[in-house]
Structure 1
């Protein structure tokens, strides 16, 4: 047992998945489709294989961005963008990702493989998808390398962190009437589809003129001029505010009903804004006239490194949830970000040049090393946790098999799952 303590592994026996989905779209439209779609998969295919297949589709989408629009990584705002048909593949890939993400749990119940490893694996893939979709969505909305894209990253990660924090303190996953995994993903699928027909320049149109609200003087007087893409971001901000209130309401009810203090969980929200503050402080460094990272080819690698660090952070929360361990308020990857942020801001702090990031090439080296360290750290976490859980429970991660009493691998159909 190399990563998870023995007493925590023993708590895996107490794990049981609980979820609430209040989405009308999910209940009346998607659930019937998912129930049919899962029957197309043979029972010898492991649920985690389905989950990983969904993430692979998103990685392919990200690969098409790099291949067809490399200037998005090297020039401000990109060039003309990828061919319009690429956006349709992004829409299809994301919709299939959502579908596969929804049926992996159903496949787990079909094969007798439902358990804590599946939840860990599912949330880990979702955490990686979050940042990848931010980058793809920024390209489709023609946001380019801007603070709007940074705001999109913060809002999207905040929603995911809230859901994870809420599940830790309530013991169940809540999906409200408008949730990221359902309506949020469908909104982005629609966005990709529209961009496929119109091109990303469509989203630069004036919001008031497009909606004809500019005909009303009172609207023009009080509503600032925004593009459609900016308005989309503002709408996302309102959704985030609603989710914050709703998530805390669920936590409040759960804590009160169990006789616990309802305000203590608020302290465990602090790790997220602290981590965000470090990344924003790093991005806003005054080393050059424009930030070395925000307006350079380093922006996308920086976001990817940030996303991997976030995936590590929330995966540790889910691990604490399924093993009933204390909330992980500290993450070791913060040390690296603190060093990067302070070094880049030495001109602001003590009026001297950065020690490491004093030229663009050296900044590039530091950002790519950060990306590599974040990737290796998260990969190590995944390997060790999967290894500990599969060894303890006597299961395989990508095979529908369990160990019998003699320690031999057997097919799921050949063993009484409930007795193991």
Structure 2
């Protein structure tokens, strides 16, 4: 059983990607580099192979965190500072991810493989990268297992959700003058490089003290936050601007004659932000265990698998949103993958709800088991989604996912002849 209704498969042939990038850095600095870099790839390399290569680099970076900082995943209060070169490798890896993520579309146009499969695959990898980089960046900033890392996860996922929600209602992927995929990534690369030179302790310094501004009359009235917390505040301001711009773009598209043809008219656009609010509230409620000081999960080795499970559930959620966009189907308001998080959150909050102890999470060990089971279920659910969607699209359109091939009218696989070596 696939995810795409049979009567909506034809919309796959009509789908065309539309994007608008206002970033000056992208236009005048990175895009000329990307245009040159894609020419280094042979036209027999599939665009999705390039995308997957970028995600594999990020997964390797995440593996180095777990290898060189094993206490992050095994001890309640322990940390081991990775070697300085690890932080540099994270910066290089993220820059390579950004580069490969940018050229896969160019490669698709070079090889004549542009279409909805590339859109789905690209955004799916971006969704997974969002959570992995959140954990890496939080570790580089010295935030570790804390509510600041949770806040960072919420902010980064909210940005991604807003962009997907905006694209669903407008039909256009908007990137503003300061966007996460361009300037945001470069900023995180800079954080990795600084941490590589100075260590994560540098981010514990106070911002006004570091800038020698703490004695100025007006500045002294503003809290002298540590640099890492100041970065979180800066991210919150950026999120607020993105919310405003996304809302204005959706409002303009909704008021246009006829609106976007794929917009789900059953719901007001703003109400379709509630699924993200609800899913995020579930995760925070689970973390906010009322029976104990702070939370077993935040203060324990269960934190990393918990965030990874959260990220996989989010990837499933936005994956269905993107699928609805490329097929013209209704907006996915409810996602069944949240059920296990509902169980975890309700069980953890039974002392608050019914004044009885949790039934499942009765000890740190049992809590860890529930978290790891949630991670496995979330991984299998997302893997099933990816497999079925790729199967549906490739079978209907007669294309391959990781090779530059298409089926002819007789059902025989043949290599695609590049339409042009000129880049669009």
Moved more, 284-293 or 383-392: 284-293
8 Å CA contact 2:297–2:303 kept in 1: the answer is yes
Measured after TM superposition, the shift of residue 415 of structure 1 is: 9.7
- For 2:405, the equivalent position in structure 1 comes to 401
Q: SS in structure 2 opposite 1:217?
A: coil
The residue correspondences of 1:160-309 to structure 2 (distance < 5 A) are: 160-221=160-221, 223-260=222-259, 264-309=268-313
Measured after TM superposition, the shift of residue 225 of structure 1 is: 3.0
Distance 1:100 1:78, change over 3 A: farther
Output the CA distance in 1 between the equivalents of 2:217 and 2:172. 48
8 Å CA contact 1:282–1:341 kept in 2: the answer is yes
Measured after TM superposition, the shift of residue 213 of structure 1 is: 2.0
The residue correspondences of 1:5-404 to structure 2 (distance < 5 A) are: 5-75=5-75, 78-221=78-221, 223-260=222-259, 264-404=268-408
Q: SS in structure 1 opposite 2:9?
A: helix
8 Å CA contact 2:43–2:418 kept in 1: the answer is no
Per-residue deviation, residues 132-154 of structure 1 (Å, max 9, x unmatched): 00000011000011100000000
8 Å CA contact 1:76–1:295 kept in 2: the answer is yes
Q: SS in structure 1 opposite 2:356?
A: coil
8 Å CA contact 1:76–1:145 kept in 2: the answer is no
Per-residue deviation, residues 252-301 of structure 1 (Å, max 9, x unmatched): 11111134589910010110011110100000012323311011000000
Output the CA distance in 1 between the equivalents of 2:225 and 2:30. 33
Output the CA distance in 1 between the equivalents of 2:248 and 2:266. 10
Output the CA distance in 2 between the equivalents of 1:31 and 1:351. 58
Output the CA distance in 2 between the equivalents of 1:215 and 1:78. 37
Measured after TM superposition, the shift of residue 393 of structure 1 is: 0.1
Normalising by structure 2, report the TM-score: 0.95
Output the CA distance in 1 between the equivalents of 2:167 and 2:258. 18
8 Å CA contact 1:77–1:142 kept in 2: the answer is no
Output the CA distance in 1 between the equivalents of 2:102 and 2:289. 41
Measured after TM superposition, the shift of residue 77 of structure 1 is: 6.3
Output the CA distance in 2 between the equivalents of 1:75 and 1:211. 36
Q: SS in structure 2 opposite 1:312?
A: helix
8 Å CA contact 1:57–1:93 kept in 2: the answer is yes
Output the CA distance in 2 between the equivalents of 1:3 and 1:188. 35
Instruction: Name the Cα RMSD after superposition.
Output: 1.6
Moved more, 287-296 or 302-311: 287-296
